[in-house]
């Protein structure tokens, strides 16, 4: 297990390096190819050519792309110094640079928005995993029944409806019509737990409706396949109760693909649920990224992108380690 973990860690680090190289190249080479100058984005179009050139030198944009990337990676690992002329500013690790618009360090901005995205993603994940898995299992156990058809129709509707539509409907129903929850600005969990829950539940419901549909269909298909396996028939022939056959034997095999998909979905959402945060006015990483794109703030876009990639890589690593816990056949392999 230690050797396997070491290999996966090395593979994860290599993946992050490749992603960082590709992302850095896209965000700093593509603007130049399109005729935009990152130094001009930093100081604004009203700046003089002399100011633009001075900024280009201070940011190191006059250096070859390989040197720029090396400084960028060094900043993430050990920090970086920015020479602004009369003074030198030290950006502590992990340093993703400074915003072109607000001149704030990117890393504190990400940390400030991260709790909102974490609250949104984890809360919605609990709802869609429990709801989708239970619905899919019940549908498989009552195949071709009214319940099965109802769950599958609901799953199809959940996958088909876009988030911006279901989000608006959720706000209309839960907030304005029923009055069960309240809108307004996001509040932190430590400040007002009731307000935190009230603000986030419609957003959780919106995400859960979309993802639970996928999990219900996946659980149903996997459960039907598992119930036809020899070891399930053997467990039943031994006289085990149906609850034990389903819960102890069948569900363990069903959970393997569920965990795989959950790792990918959760990793993606932790990088920013852009549409959901936009619809519900949540100040998370997704909204930070959208605002940065609108303002052409390259350092923030780059920082959020790499941070999202980190979540996906870590999620895949955790999923691989959980396989051995869920399914003993993985350990034997």
Q: Residue 123, SS3? A: helix
Q: Are 120 and 204 in contact (CB under 8 A)?
A: yes
In 3D, which of 91, 96, 81, 77 has the Cα closest to residue 27? 96
- Cα 190 from Cα 35, distance rounded (Å): 47
Residue 92 DSSP class: P
Q: How far is CA 298 from CA 26, 96, 225, 301, in A?
A: 10, 10, 48, 5
Both structure tokens of 120: 């949104």
- Cα 136 from Cα 141, distance rounded (Å): 9
Q: Which residues of 283-302 are buried (b: 16+ CB within 10 A; e: fewer)?
A: bbbbbbbbebeeeebbbbbb
Low-confidence stretches of the chain (pLDDT < 70) are: 1, 4, 31-35, 41, 44-45, 83-86, 271-272, 324-333
Q: Are 39 and 61 in contact (CB under 8 A)?
A: yes
- Cα 2 from Cα 204, distance rounded (Å): 37
Q: What is residue 108's predicted lDDT score, i.e. its pLDDT? A: 92
| Torsional sign, CA 223, 201, 267, 291 | positive
H helix or E strand, kind and range, residue 83: strand 80-83
Place of tokens 């399914």: 327
Q: Residue 277, SS3? A: helix
Q: What is the pLDDT of residues 35-52, one digit of tens each?
A: 677 777 677 667 777 777
* Overall size of the chain counted in residues: 333
pTM: 0.81
Q: CA 53, 54, 56, 62: dihedral to nearest 10 degrees?
A: 80
Q: What is the pLDDT of residues 114-148, one digit of tens each?
A: 999 888 888 988 988 888 888 888 888 888 888 88
């Amino acid at each position: 297990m230690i050797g396997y973990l070491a290999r996966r860690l090395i593979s994860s680090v290599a993946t992050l390096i490749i992603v960082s190289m590709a992302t850095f190249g896209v965000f700093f080479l593509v603007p130049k190819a399109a005729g935009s100058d990152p130094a001009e984005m930093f100081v604004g179009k009203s700046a003089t050519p002399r100011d633009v050139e001075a900024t280009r030198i201070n940011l190191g944009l006059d250096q070859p792309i390989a040197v720029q990337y090396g400084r960028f990676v060094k900043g993430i690992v050990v920090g970086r110094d920015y020479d602004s002329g009369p003074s030198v500013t030290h950006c502590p690790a992990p340093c993703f640079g400074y915003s072109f618009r607000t001149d704030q360090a990117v890393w504190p901005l990400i940390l400030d928005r991260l709790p909102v995205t974490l609250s949104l993603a984890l809360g919605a994940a609990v709802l869609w995993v429990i709801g989708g898995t239970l619905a899919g299992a019940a549908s498989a156990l009552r195949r071709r029944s009214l319940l099965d058809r109802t769950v599958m129709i609901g799953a199809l509707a959940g996958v088909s409806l876009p988030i911006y539509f279901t989000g608006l409907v959720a706000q209309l129903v839960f907030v304005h019509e029923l009055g069960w929850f309240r809108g307004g600005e996001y509040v932190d969990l430590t400040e007002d737990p009731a307000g935190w829950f009230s603000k986030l539940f419609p957003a959780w419901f919106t995400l859960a409706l979309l993802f639970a549909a996928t999990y219900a269909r996946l659980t149903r298909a996997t459960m039907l396949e598992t119930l036809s396996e020899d070891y399930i028939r053997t467990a039943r022939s031994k006289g085990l109760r149906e609850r034990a056959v389903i819960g102890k034997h069948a569900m363990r095999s069903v959970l393997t693909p569920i965990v795989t998909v959950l790792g990918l979905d959760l990793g993606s959402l932790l990088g920013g649920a852009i549409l959901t945060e936009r619809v519900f006015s949540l100040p998370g990483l997704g909204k930070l990224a959208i605002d940065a794109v609108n303002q052409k703030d390259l350092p923030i876009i780059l920082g959020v992108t790499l941070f999202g990639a980190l979540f996906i890589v870590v999620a895949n690593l955790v999923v691989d380690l959980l396989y051995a816990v869920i399914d003993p056949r993985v350990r034997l392999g």
